[in-house]
Homo-oligomer: A and B are copies of this chain.
Amino acid sequence: MDLKRPTLIAATLSTCGLLASTSQADVDKAIEYRQDALGVMAWQIGPLGDMAQGKIDYDAEEFRRRAENLAAVAHLPWEGFIEGSLQGDGHGVDTDALAEIADDREDFESRQQTLVEETAALAELAQEDDFAAMRRQVATVGETCKGCHDNYRAE
Residues of B within 8 A of A36 (CB): 35-37, 39-40, 43
Q: Does A10 contact B (CB under 8 A)?
A: no
Cross-chain contact of A39 among B33, B43, B72, B73 (Cβ < 8 A): B33
Q: Does A28 contact B (CB under 8 A)?
A: no
User: Once bound together, how far apart are the Cα atoms of A39 and B72, in whole Å?
Assistant: 16
**What does DSSP make chain A's interface, helix, strand, loop or mixed?**
helix
Instruction: Kindly provide the distance from the CB of A50 to the nearest chain B CB, expressed in whole angstroms.
Output: 12
Instruction: Kindly provide the distance from the CB of A17 to the nearest chain B CB, expressed in whole angstroms.
Output: 19
Interface residues of A in 61-94 (CB under 8 A from B): 69, 72-73, 76
User: Once bound together, how far apart are the Cα atoms of A73 and B36, in whole Å?
Assistant: 12
> Which B-chain residue is minimally distant from A30 (CB atoms)?
B43
User: Once bound together, how far apart are the Cα atoms of A32 and B38, in whole Å?
Assistant: 12
Cross-chain contact of A73 among B29, B33, B35, B73 (Cβ < 8 A): B73
User: Once bound together, how far apart are the Cα atoms of A72 and B119, in whole Å?
Assistant: 15
User: Once bound together, how far apart are the Cα atoms of A127 and B26, in whole Å?
Assistant: 28
Instruction: Kindly provide the distance from the CB of A46 to the nearest chain B CB, expressed in whole angstroms.
Output: 9
- Return 21 A-B CB contacts under 8 Å, by A number: A29-B43, A32-B39, A33-B39, A33-B40, A33-B43, A35-B36, A36-B36, A36-B37, A36-B39, A36-B40, A36-B43, A37-B40, A37-B43, A40-B40, A40-B73, A40-B76, A69-B76, A72-B72, A72-B73, A73-B73, A73-B76
